[in-house]
Amino acid sequence: MDTLTTATDLIPAARRDGDAIVLSVCGELDLHNSPELRTHLLDLLNRTKPHRLILNLKDVPYMDSSALAVLVEALKKMMKTGGRVFLVALQPRVKGLIEIARLATIFGICANEQDALAAKSP
């Protein structure tokens, strides 16, 4: 397990775990900070080229459609190389948004990081 560095408070912790990178994301994600999240998330994906991206969202009480667009962009990037994106520890408002947007079937939704790490890649 290797610790990765990030240059944003939105991703306070990042690490490589096998073929996955696990990122802790925190704070409300909206139009004001989603461009920053996008920049740093795509930078991490380009630098590490993981097969699985696990986003721990336990410290994200709210996100809007602009943040959801960032997650979908990361998902598309991962899918190009056969990878998957897992969202873990979703708070109720965030889970509701993902369900309303009908994205719960294309993201892997897991209760915790351990479940996401144990999930089989397609």
The pLDDT, as a whole number, for residue 4 is: 86
If DSSP states are collapsed to H, E and C, what string results for 42-86?
Answer: HHHHHHHCCCEEEEEEEECCCECHHHHHHHHHHHHHHHHCCCEEE
Q: State the pLDDT confidence band at 43, using cuts at 50, 70 and 90.
A: very high
Whole-number Å distance between alpha carbons of 52 and 5: 18
The arithmetic mean of pLDDT across residues 23-43, rounded, is 96
The arithmetic mean of pLDDT across residues 95-106, rounded, is 94
Which domains are present in the chain?
A: 2-118 (3.30.750.24)
pLDDT at residue 121 tops 80: no
Task: Count the Cβ atoms, other than its own, within 10 Å of residue 66.
Answer: 16
Whole-number Å distance between alpha carbons of 66 and 74: 13
pTM of the model: 0.94
The pLDDT, as a whole number, for residue 3 is: 87
Per the prediction, the chain carries an average pLDDT of 94
The pLDDT, as a whole number, for residue 73 is: 97
- pLDDT one-digit tens code per residue, 11-20: 999 999 999 9
